[in-house]
């Protein structure tokens, strides 16, 4: 039989004739439907070889599976090899040597997103872990999911802590002979399969098998719709035939022999990437092949929620997100032999936990590494970084690999999907719903798509559409994911916050109503990132920042005592002749007053002088750095004009009873050269500052009171005495805490690389920590 032809078996011809009768057709009716010649039709029904493409088309027109009609060699014939003078181990070794260049070519490198050139797989690969229980299929309620959340804003590596045991992926392949690996977009599924192929061909994993890597999308779209065995054979021959010493026929026989004897590691990648019109045929091929050659090892990958596939003999597992160690390993591999040090990347990642959250996804971690490599830091405006990550998931990840997925709802473009996600995000975030039931999400989708042009008005049809839209958003982009059966959330809290901010800025166009609704939450910790992102996204952040400032100033407005405290802090700051912005002085006195430092007993006070190396900040950063570090909690401070070291004075804790203090107080004092010299002399009188040592305690017991008096004398000589003790109720302390945190948020937003006019910026800086009576003259 010709290589590119098939012929019908006697049973197949009988089935074809029955199909003709049931469809009330004659052989001549197939002319024109299949081809323009009678000859191929006649050959088909007489059991003679027919061009494969025509053969398959005839079967399709008759609603028959071509595999059931064609005369294929039985399995026992596949086990025949021309040369039987060597055992199977020898044959495995020979075939592995011949296909090694092909495997290394197809699987040895990777190129993701905006990489300028491919990188070696082994240079970047990080071991993958899997979960043996699928996260989205757990039978948990929202209350149970909330109990699993981390206490810090649901912040670390997704919303919930996955408590299921992690299993190394290689161990899972050894454990299960037929494995279906599910995962979110960019979870590392393809990379893992490529790694398996490379490890196998190198003899470091399942050395007794030959690796066969199949991209299911390519198989589905291959010309003439070959069977899986034929596709494997032809793809392998095409890749390596030039290097063969034996003939083509002998090599085909060897491949068939090893597959028939269970000596292959079949790696089937990307079931979700198969087009809808090809899926039935591909699924049938995989089921038949895995049943016919069941002694081989099968590993198949697919996105979670792609379709309801059923492979009875396959065990389904899920790719786990990267943990801290995997992130570190990936980073060390990525930045190896590059100018940017991996330690720098990890340090900056830990300093920004919202960005660190995204690093749990291998795809987004790659994006972060690419962005960091360009400038040695993350963008100051985080919204730009998040936008790039979303573009990768919404557009680039599939487009870069030439994958076009079926659009469930044709009018739902990428922008419309973003608008829909934004609506869901803000609505659920306002309600505090980090998790939401599937039916609730579908209701949001229904309300959105019913307003699109040409939308279906039938309620049942809209419900079906909303179900499909939710599922497609999950498996296409992984932005909304199932956390348990029937319960969803955004894949990362970062994206939930981003889309909530996007709804305010872009969908609601920063309307006065939208901004007023936002600033109501200025004292709520969970809204901080939404404020930060909204400011960064806004074409002009003036109005939002002014509303925030107004709201912050009113936190203490109803308490006359606290207004007097602010007035006192301002008056003290004006009376001191120090060359710093007045707000810095106000912040010093305000913090000093609310900590109640003058009331601390001299004998119990431990004073530590820490002399810090000179650091010269950009002039504009002085105020920002000061305010953003809890007004005073900084390690050193210095005006760029002065070439002096800065002395940091810590009022840290009660030496005898630390539990009496629920926070540490660090006061940054801006010293004249004379003050510095006097304090240096006092420092020299102190023993080694080891507060826990008996030596220091003994010294302090004898000398502490005298030393403290000298210290206070120096401070009173060069700075105004703190002559008032402010007694605060718990309610007032709580208000001050809100006021403090809101001011820190305001300054973070003001200095987040957003666009804000000079006039508004100056007004906010000039009026920080002022009582309401003093603010009015400044108002723009």
Mean per-residue pLDDT for 397-403? 64
**pLDDT reported for residue 602:** 28
Q: Which fold has domain 5-72?
A: 434 Repressor (Amino-terminal Domain) (1.10.260)
Banded pLDDT at 608 (limits 50, 70, 90): very low
d(CA 12, CA 67): 9
Residue 668 has pLDDT above 50, yes or no: no
240-249, pLDDT tens digit by residue?
Answer: 665 544 467 7
Q: What is the pLDDT of residues 169-213, one digit of tens each?
A: 999 999 999 999 999 888 999 999 999 999 999 999 999 999 999
Nearest C-alpha neighbor of 720 from the set 606, 513, 574, 612: 574
pLDDT band with cut points at 50, 70 and 90 for residue 673: low
Q: Give the HSE-up count for residue 241: Cα atoms under 13 Å, Cβ half-sphere.
A: 11
At 515, list the tokens: 């901004």
pLDDT in tens, 721-741: 455 678 889 899 899 889 988
- CA-based radius of gyration for the chain: 35
Nearest Cα to 436, choosing from 494, 495, 500, 483? 483
Side-by-side strand order, sheet with 178-183? 166-168, 129-131, 315-319, 178-183, 297-303, 264-269, 210-215
Average pLDDT over residues 743-757: 89
pLDDT number for residue 252: 82
For residues 617-629, give the mean pLDDT. Answer: 33
Question: Does pLDDT of 636 surpass 50?
Answer: no
Return d(Cα 702, Cα 687) in angstroms, integer: 12
pLDDT of 342 over the 50 cut: yes
Which strand (E) or helix (H) includes residue 448? helix 438-449
CB 444 within 8 A of CB 151: no
pLDDT at 505: 95
Distance between CA atoms of 354 and 349, rounded to whole angstroms?
9
Identify the band that residue 315 occupies on the pLDDT scale cut at 50, 70 and 90: very high
Output the pLDDT for position 680: 72
> Dihedral (C-alpha) 371, 374, 380, 382: value to the nearest 10 degrees?
-10
Backbone angles phi, psi at 620, to 5 degrees: -65, -25
Three-class DSSP category at 703: helix
pLDDT tens column, 382-395? 888 888 888 888 87
The larger pLDDT score, comparing residue 710 to residue 546, is at 546
pLDDT tens-digit map of 3-56: 467 888 888 999 999 999 888 888 888 888 888 788 888 999 999 988 888 888
Residue 604 has pLDDT above 80, yes or no: no
β-partners of residue 319 are 130
Do residues 426 and 533 make contact, with C-beta atoms less than 8 angstroms apart?
Answer: no
Query: What is the per-residue pLDDT for 397?
Result: 65
pLDDT band at 76 (very low <50, low <70, confident <90, very high): low
259 to 102, 178, 235, 413, 710: CA distances (angstroms): 18, 15, 15, 44, 89
Instruction: Compute CA distances 10 → 28, 39, 43, 95, 695, whole Å.
Output: 20, 19, 13, 36, 102
pLDDT digits over 475-489, tens only?
Answer: 888 889 999 899 999
The label of the residue with tokens 């970062």 reads: 494
3-state SS, 464-502, equals HHHHHHHHHHHHHHCCEEEEECCEEEECCHHHHHHHHHH
Q: In which residue are the tokens 């098939």 written?
A: 6
pLDDT exceeds 90 at position 611: no
Residue scoring higher pLDDT (401 or 412): 412
DSSP state of 44: H
Determine the Cα–Cα distance for residues 539 and 516; give it in Å rounded to an integer.
18
CA–CA distance, 314 with 178 (Å, rounded to integer): 5
Complete DSSP assignment for 516-566? HHHHTTTT-GGGHHHHHHHHHH-S--HHHHHHHHHHHHGGGTT-HHHHHHH
Confidence check: pLDDT of 653 > 90 = no
**Are residues 475 and 306 in contact, defined by beta-carbon separation less than 8 angstroms?**
yes
- Residue 79 pLDDT: 59
With bands split at pLDDT 50, 70 and 90, how would you rate the model's confidence at 296?
very high
How much of the chain exceeds pLDDT 70, in percent?
77
State the average pLDDT for the chain: 79
| pLDDT value of residue 151 | 45
Judging by DSSP bridges, how do beta strands 166-168 and 129-131 pair with one another? antiparallel
In CATH, which superfamily holds the domain spanning 78-319?
A: P-loop containing nucleotide triphosphate hydrolases (3.40.50.300)
**Confidence at residue 162, expressed as pLDDT on a 0 to 100 scale:** 54
H or E stretch covering 62: none
Q: Where are the domains of the chain?
A: 5-72, 78-319, 324-399, 558-773
User: Reduced to 3 states, what is the DSSP secondary structure of residue 25?
Assistant: coil
**In Å, how far from its chain's centre is CA 444?**
24
Q: What is the pLDDT of residues 84-133, one digit of tens each?
A: 545 788 889 989 998 999 999 999 988 777 677 788 888 889 999 999 98
At residue 461, the pLDDT reads 84
Q: What is the band of 439 on the pLDDT scale with cuts at 50, 70, 90?
A: very high
Distance, CA of 586 to CA of 740 (rounded, Å)? 13
> Rounded to a whole number, what is the largest CA-CA distance in the chain?
116
Question: Is residue 164 a contact partner of residue 133, using CB atoms and an 8 Å limit?
Answer: yes
DSSP β-bridge partners for residue 437 = 487
Query: What does the pLDDT read at residue 488?
Result: 92
């Amino acid at each position: 039989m010709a290589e590119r032809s098939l012929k019908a078996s006697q049973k197949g011809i009988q089935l074809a004739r029955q199909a003709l009768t049931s469809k009330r057709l004659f052989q001549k009716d197939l002319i024109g439907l299949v081809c323009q010649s009678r000859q191929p039709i006649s050959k088909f029904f007489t059991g003679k070889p027919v061009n494969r493409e025509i053969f398959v088309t005839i079967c399709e027109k008759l609603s028959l599976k071509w595999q059931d009609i064609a005369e294929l060699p039985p399995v026992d014939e596949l086990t025949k090899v021309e040369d039987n003078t060597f055992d199977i181990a020898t044959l495995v070794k020979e075939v592995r040597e011949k296909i090694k260049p092909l495997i290394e070519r197809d699987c040895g490198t990777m190129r993701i997103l905006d990489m300028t050139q491919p990188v070696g797989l082994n240079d970047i690969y990080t071991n993958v872990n899997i979960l043996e229980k699928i996260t989205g299929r757990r039978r948990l309620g929202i209350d149970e999911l909330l109990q699993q959340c981390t206490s810090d804003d649901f912040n670390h590596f997704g919303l919930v802590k996955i408590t299921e045991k992690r299993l190394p992926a290689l161990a899972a392949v050894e454990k299960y002979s037929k494995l279906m690996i599910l995962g979110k977009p960019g979870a590392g599924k393809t990379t893992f399969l490529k790694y398996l192929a490379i490890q196998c061909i190198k003899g470091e994993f399942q050395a007794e098998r030959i690796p066969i890597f199949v991209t299911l999308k390519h198989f589905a779209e291959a010309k003439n719709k070959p069977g899986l065995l034929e596709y494997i054979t032809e793809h392998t021959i095409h890749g390596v035939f030039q290097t063969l010493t034996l003939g083509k026929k002998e090599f085909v026989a060897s491949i068939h022999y090893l597959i028939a004897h269970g000596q292959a590691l079949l790696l089937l990648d990307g079931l979700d990437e198969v087009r809808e019109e090809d899926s039935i045929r591909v699924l049938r091929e995989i089921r038949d092949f895995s049943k016919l050659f069941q002694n081989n090892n099968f590993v198949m990958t697919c996105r979670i929620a792609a379709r309801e596939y059923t492979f009875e003999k396959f065990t389904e597992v899920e790719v786990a997100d990267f943990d801290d160690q995997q992130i570190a390993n990936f980073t060390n591999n990525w930045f190896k032999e590059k100018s940017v040090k991996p330690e720098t990347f990890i340090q900056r990642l830990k300093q920004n936990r919202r960005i660190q959250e995204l690093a749990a996804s291998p795809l987004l971690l790659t994006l972060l590494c690419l962005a960091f490599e360009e400038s040695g830091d993350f963008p100051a405006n985080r919204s730009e970084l998040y936008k790039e990550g979303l573009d990768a998931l919404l557009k680039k990840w599939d487009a870069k690999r030439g994958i076009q997925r079926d659009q469930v709802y044709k009018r739902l473009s990428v922008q419309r999907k973003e608008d829909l996600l934004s609506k869901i995000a803000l609505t659920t975030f306002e309600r505090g719903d980090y998790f939401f039931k599937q039916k609730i999400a579908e209701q949001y989708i229904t309300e959105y798509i019913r307003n699109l042009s040409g939308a279906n008005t039938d309620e049942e049809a809209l419900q079906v559409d909303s179900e499909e839209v939710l599922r497609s958003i999950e498996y296409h982009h992984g932005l909304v994911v199932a956390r348990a059966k029937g319960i969803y959330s955004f894949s990362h809290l970062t994206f939930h916050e981003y889309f909530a901010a996007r709804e305010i800025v872009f969908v609601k166009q920063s309307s006065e109503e939208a901004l007023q609704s936002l600033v109501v939450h200025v004292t709520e910790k969970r809204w901080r990132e939404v404020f930060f992102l909204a400011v960064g996204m806004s074409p002009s952040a003036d109005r939002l920042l002014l509303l925030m400032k107004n709201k912050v100033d009113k936190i203490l407005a109803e308490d006359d005592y606290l207004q007097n405290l602010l007035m006192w802090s301002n008056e003290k700051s004006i009376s001191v002749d120090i060359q710093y912005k007045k707000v810095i002085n106000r912040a010093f006195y305000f913090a000093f007053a609310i900590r109640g430092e003058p009331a601390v007993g001299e004998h119990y006070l431990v004073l530590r002088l820490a002399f810090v190396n000179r650091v010269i900040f950009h002039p504009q950063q002085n105020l920002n750095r000061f305010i953003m570090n809890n007004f005073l909690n900084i390690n050193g401070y210095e005006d760029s004009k002065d070439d002096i070291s800065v002395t940091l004075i810590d009022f840290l804790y009660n030496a005898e009873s630390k539990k009496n203090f629920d926070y540490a107080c660090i006061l940054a004092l801006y010293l004249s050269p004379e003050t510095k010299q006097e304090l240096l002399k006092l420092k020299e009188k102190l023993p080694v500052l080891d507060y826990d040592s008996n030596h220091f305690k003994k010294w302090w017991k004898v000398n502490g009171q005298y030393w403290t008096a000298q210290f206070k004398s120096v401070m009173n000589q060069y700075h105004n005495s703190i002559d008032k003790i402010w007694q605060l109720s718990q309610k007032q302390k709580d208000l001050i805490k809100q006021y403090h945190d809101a001011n820190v948020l305001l300054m973070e937003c003001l200095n987040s690389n957003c666009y804000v006019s000079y006039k508004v910026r100056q007004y906010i800086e000039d009026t920080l920590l002022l009582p309401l009576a003093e603010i009015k003259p400044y108002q723009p």
